[in-house]
Amino acid sequence: MASPRIVHVSMECLPFSKVGGMADVVGSLPAALRELGASCRVMTPHYPQLHDGRIDAEIAAFDVWVGDSPHRVRLLEAGDDVLVDQPAAFDRPGVYDDPHSGEGFSDSLYRCLVLQQAARIAVRDGHVPADVVHCHDNHTGLLPVFLKDDGGPPSVFTIHNLAYQGRYGADEFWITGLSEDRFFGHSAFEFHGDLSLMKAGLSYADKITTVSPSYAEEILSPDFGHGLEGVLQHRRDDLCGILNGIDEDYWNPGRDPALPAHYSVAEREGKEACKRALCEEGGIEYRPGVPLIGMVSRVTHQKGLDLVGAILPHLLRREASIVLLGSGDAEILDLFRGARGRWPERVALFEGYNEALSHRVYAGSDIFMMPSRFEPCGLSQLYAMRYGAVPVVTSVGGLKDTVQAFEEEWKTGTGVRAHWATSDSFQGAVDYALDLYEKPKLFKRVQGNGMKLDFSWTRSAEQYLALYRGLMGESAPDPAPEAEPETGPGADA
Ligand code: ADP
C-alpha cells in the first residue's frame, strides 16, 4: 500500500506557536504518523515575533485572494513543516490576540483565510502534495469547502474545542470568495445569521474527529454541543473520537531540561527537590510532608478555576499549599490574587504563559487540579500523571477517558474524579486526594500508577492512519441539503 501523504493545517503548532493543547497535538502527531510510514507535513503560519527558528528554503510564492485584494504569500520550508509567510496577517505578538492588551485581532477572518487559501493553492498546484488534508479547529473550517469545490483531496476535520466556533458577521462573508447563494444558508454554514467556520468544517469535511471518545458522545447533546449538536447528529456516522497522545520524549521527568532535578517511577527522590525549588520560585514556604497542589491552565469558565477559587479557604485550612500558573479571566484571577495576599506563604501565583515553568509546576506538585466544565481531551492531566502529580478532575470528556478513579481495595486507578463540576463535588474529590496523601503508601501507589501509563501516540496514530487510508479509497458524498435544525444554548429564541 502506498504511503499516504498527509498535510495538517493549523493556526498553531509547536515549536512555532502555542496557545493551548492543539499546538502540542499538531506538533507531535505527525512524528508518530511518520513512524507508521505516512509522509506528513504541517502547514502553519510563520509568526516571526513568536518563533525565530531556522528556515531551510522558500518552496513557492504566489498571491492569495481575500476579499477583493491579492496578498503575496511565501511558503517556507522549516524541517518537515511548511510555514505560510504573510507579514500583514501573521507578524503579530500573538496567535489569536495581542497578549499585552488581551484584545482579539479585529481581522481574524482575513488571517484564517490567508492560511486556508494558501493551503488550498499549495495542495492544488502541487507545492505541497496531499492525499488527505487534515484540518484543525474552526480556523481551517473553510478548507474542506475549498477542497471540495476544487475537486481536491478528501479532508479530515478535527474538533479540538467546539466552544470556539469562528463566528463572523454576515457582512464579512463576501471575503471568503464563496457564493452566498450556495453557502450562506442554514443547510450550509450560516449559523443564526452569522458565518460559522466551525459549522463549515463539520458540514463539508469527509470525516470529523474529536480528541476523545467521551467528548465525541457528549457533543451530540445540547449540554455540550454549543448549538451545533444537530449538525453533529446529522454527521454522526462520520464522527469519531481519537484520544490525544503526548510526546513522551519531551515530557519526561527523567531528563527534562526545564527541571532542577530528575526522577522516574522507580527513583522518585528528585521529585521532592523539584517541589522545594518550585516553592522557592513561587515565593512560598517549602514544607516537607505537606501537600502542594498545582494548576497550569488557561483561566476561563471552561476550566472551572472559579470552583477552586471558592474552595481555596477550605484547602488552606487543610494545610495544603497552592500554586497556579495561568492567564485569562481577570475576575477568576482576582480570587487567587486575593488568596496570595492573604496567605503569601502558602499560595503561589504565576500570571502569564511560561512553557518551561509549566514543566516545573507539574514536577513540583503532589496533586494537580483540573475542574473543567467540559474538556475535549485535556493534556495537562496527562502531563501531571507523567510527572507524578495525582490529578483531581471532573468526570467529563477526555478527563473521564484518561483519569481512572483510584480504588483503594484494588489499588488501581490514577487519580480522583469529581462527579459534578460544582465546588461541593470538587471539594469532596480534593479532600479525598488530601486524605490519600496522608497515607504515603497508598499515595505512592496512585502516583506510580499514573507515571507508568502509556500515553504515547502510537495507538491513536494508528487510528488516524486507518481513517486516512479509508478516505483514500472512498470519499464521503456531499453534505445533504437539509441539515438537522440547530438547537441548544446558541440557538435563536
Ligand atoms: P486547552 O488546550 O483547552 O488549553 P489542554 O489541557 O488540552 O487545554 O492543553 C493545555 C496546554 O497548555 C498544556 O500543554 C498546558 O501545559 C499548557 N498551558 C496552559 N496554560 C499555560 C501557561 N499559563 N503556561 C504554560 N503552559 C500552559
Asked if 194 and 326 sit in the same domain, the reply is no
pLDDT tens-digit map of 180-199: 999 999 889 999 999 999 99
Q: How far apart are CA 426 and CA 379, in angstroms?
A: 19
Last residue of a domain, one of 210, 245, 280: 245
Residue 377 has pLDDT above 70, yes or no: yes
User: Residue type for 418, please?
Assistant: A
Specify if 253 maps to a domain: no
Q: Which atom of ligand 1 is nearest to the CA of 161?
A: 3
Q: How many residues does the chain have?
A: 493
Q: What is the mean pLDDT of residues 309-320?
A: 96
The residues pairing with 135 across neighbouring beta strands, listed in sequence order, are: 9, 157
pLDDT tens-digit map of 267-285: 999 999 999 999 999 999 9
Asked if 238 and 200 sit in the same domain, the reply is yes
Residue 493 has pLDDT above 50, yes or no: no
Asked if 213 and 293 sit in the same domain, the reply is no
Specify if 369 maps to a domain: yes
Q: Which of 40, 134, 113 is nearest to 79 (CA)?
A: 40
Compute, in angstroms, the gap from residue 264 CA to the centroid of ligand 1.
23
What are the Cα distances from residue 437, in Å, to 318, 360, 389, 447, 452? Answer: 12, 20, 11, 10, 19
Q: What is the mean pLDDT of residues 454-465?
A: 95
Residue 475 has pLDDT above 50, yes or no: no
DSSP letter string, 392-455? EEESSHHHHHH-PBPBTTTTB-SBEEESSSSHHHHHHHHHHHHHHHTSHHHHHHHHHHHHH---
Specify if 468 maps to a domain: no
Using most ligand atoms within 8 A of CB, pick from 14, 22, 24 the residue to mutate for ligand 1.
Answer: 24
Pocket of ligand 1 from Cβ distances under 6 Å:
20-21, 24, 161, 296-298, 325-327, 353-355, 358, 377-380, 383
Asked if 238 and 296 sit in the same domain, the reply is no
Specify if 465 maps to a domain: no
Query: Domain range holding 302?
Result: 269-452
Asked if 283 and 240 sit in the same domain, the reply is no
Are the beta carbons of 110 and 68 closer than 8 angstroms?
no
Asked if 238 and 285 sit in the same domain, the reply is no
Asked if 330 and 186 sit in the same domain, the reply is no
Q: Which atom of ligand 1 is nearest to the CA of 18?
A: 12
Residue identifier of the C-alpha nearest atom 15 of ligand 1? 380
Specify if 264 maps to a domain: no
- Nearby residues of 420 by Cβ (< 8 Å), 6 or more positions away: 394, 395, 426
Residue identifier of the C-alpha nearest atom 14 of ligand 1? 21
DSSP letter string, 92-136? SSSSSB-TTT-PBPTTHHHHHHHHHHHHHHHHHTTSS--SEEEEE
Question: What's 235's domain CATH number?
Answer: 3.40.50.2000
Asked if 237 and 282 sit in the same domain, the reply is no
Specify if 416 maps to a domain: yes
In 10 A of CB 235, how many CB atoms?
21
Compute, in angstroms, the gap from residue 488 CA to the centroid of ligand 1.
28
Using most ligand atoms within 8 A of CB, pick from 251, 298, 387 the residue to mutate for ligand 1.
Answer: 298
User: Across all residues in the chain, what is the average pLDDT?
Assistant: 94
Compute, in angstroms, the gap from residue 441 CA to the centroid of ligand 1.
31
Run of H or E including 306? helix 305-317
What is the pLDDT at residue 102?
Answer: 76
What is the pLDDT at residue 52?
Answer: 87
Compute, in angstroms, the gap from residue 214 CA to the centroid of ligand 1.
20
What is the pLDDT at residue 482?
Answer: 40
pLDDT tens-digit map of 76-127: 999 999 999 999 999 999 999 988 777 889 999 999 999 999 999 999 999 9
Asked if 240 and 281 sit in the same domain, the reply is no
Asked if 180 and 67 sit in the same domain, the reply is yes
Asked if 223 and 157 sit in the same domain, the reply is yes
DSSP letter string, 188-256? TTEETTEEEHHHHHHHH-SEEEES-HHHHHHTTSTTTSTT-HHHHHHTGGGEEE------TTTS-TTT-
What is the pLDDT at residue 98?
Answer: 83
pLDDT tens-digit map of 387-407: 999 999 999 999 999 999 999
Are the beta carbons of 164 and 137 closer than 8 angstroms?
yes
Specify if 261 maps to a domain: no
Between residues 487 and 176, which one has the greater pLDDT? 176
- DSSP code for 302: T
Residue 208 has pLDDT above 60, yes or no: yes
Specify if 478 maps to a domain: no
Last residue of a domain, one of 229, 245, 261: 245
Q: Which atom of ligand 1 is nearest to the CA of 383?
A: 16
What is the pLDDT at residue 492?
Answer: 31
Q: How far apart are CA 253 and CA 265, in angstroms?
A: 9
197-204 and 143-150 are packed helices; what angle lies between their axes, rounded to 10 degrees? 40
Q: Which of 12, 325, 67 is nearest to 177 (CA)?
A: 67
Residue 1's pLDDT band, with cuts at 50, 70 and 90, is low
Residue identifier of the C-alpha nearest atom 4 of ligand 1? 20
Residue 469 has pLDDT above 90, yes or no: yes
Share of the chain above pLDDT 70, in %: 96
Residue 490 has pLDDT above 60, yes or no: no
Residue 265 has pLDDT above 70, yes or no: yes
Give the pairing of strands 194-196 and 190-191.
antiparallel
Compute, in angstroms, the gap from residue 128 CA to the centroid of ligand 1.
30
Q: Which atom of ligand 1 is nearest to the CA of 355?
A: 25
Last residue of a domain, one of 190, 210, 245: 245
> Nearest 5 degrees, angle CA 120-CA 124-CA 126?
120
Supply the pTM of this predicted model.
0.93
Asked if 292 and 227 sit in the same domain, the reply is no
Q: How far apart are CA 369 and CA 416, in angstroms?
A: 10
Q: How far apart are CA 394 and CA 406, in angstroms?
A: 14
Run of H or E including 157? strand 155-159
Compute, in angstroms, the gap from residue 325 CA to the centroid of ligand 1.
10
Q: What is the mean pLDDT of residues 401-427?
A: 97
What is the pLDDT at residue 187?
Answer: 86
Domain count, the chain: 2
Q: Which of 182, 164, 163, 150 is nearest to 112 (CA)?
A: 164
